[in-house]
């Protein structure tokens, strides 16, 4: 008997879940957005898995180490757990923009790995992030993408007009994505 695939909400880390510190390199700098747990718990109630996917070129640039990144990611998961939010998976790309790897968003290496490990239905999944590459990542893996105007989102919004692929929605905060996804998911 095959295990049923489950849709997921893929989330960028910096600027979407927590404040972007421009190469967050110390666990002491980690601060979640206020009430971040509310939309994440609603996604869980809707039947979605929660998966964090983050480009971390600071490693390739030698701004911080993989060890530091893992400490930050562990702390983030711990902070969310205290808010009753279960994170099903967390994936990162340590490469720089010119490394031409398959895991750096908007390429889909992290999504494919998550789909295999967590039995995710990518076509019914969504990506939420504060950059054009985030929402394009969602479309590239076969799902949909939403641009959130937190973090770098306001600057990135100006670039949307130059892209062939437009986001499913542009929202001010993660909280607003709940209704967008609820309405879109009903249609499919």
**Active centre residues (catalytic):** 12, 14
Preceding peptide of 55 cis, ω within 30°? no
30, 68 contact by CB (below 8 A)? no
Coil, helix or strand at residue 117: helix
d(CA 149, CA 99): 28
Please give the span between the terminal C-alpha atoms of the chain, in angstroms, as a whole number.
25
Q: How far is CA 157 from CA 41, 154, 163, 177, 181, in A?
A: 27, 5, 11, 16, 19
């Amino acid at each position: 008997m095959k295990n049923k695939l489950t849709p997921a909400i893929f989330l960028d880390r910096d600027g979407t879940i927590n404040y972007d510190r421009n190469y967050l390199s110390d666990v002491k700098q980690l601060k979640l957005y206020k009430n971040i747990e509310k939309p994440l718990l609603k996604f869980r109630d809707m039947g979605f898995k929660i998966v964090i996917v983050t480009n971390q070129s600071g490693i390739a640039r030698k701004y911080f180490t993989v060890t530091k990144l893992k400490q930050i990611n562990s702390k983030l998961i711990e902070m969310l757990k205290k808010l009753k939010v279960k994170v099903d998976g967390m994936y990162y790309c340590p490469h720089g923009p010119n490394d031409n790897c398959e895991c750096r968003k908007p390429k889909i290496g992290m999504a494919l790995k998550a789909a295999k490990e967590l039995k995710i239905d990518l076509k019914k999944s969504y990506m939420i992030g504060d950059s054009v590459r985030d929402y394009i990542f969602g479309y590239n893996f076969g799902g949909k993408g939403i641009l959130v105007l937190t973090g770098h989102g306001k600057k990135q919004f100006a670039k949307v007009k130059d892209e062939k692929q437009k986001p499913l929605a542009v929202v001010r905060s993660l909280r607003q994505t709940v209704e967008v996804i609820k309405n879109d998911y009903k249609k499919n």
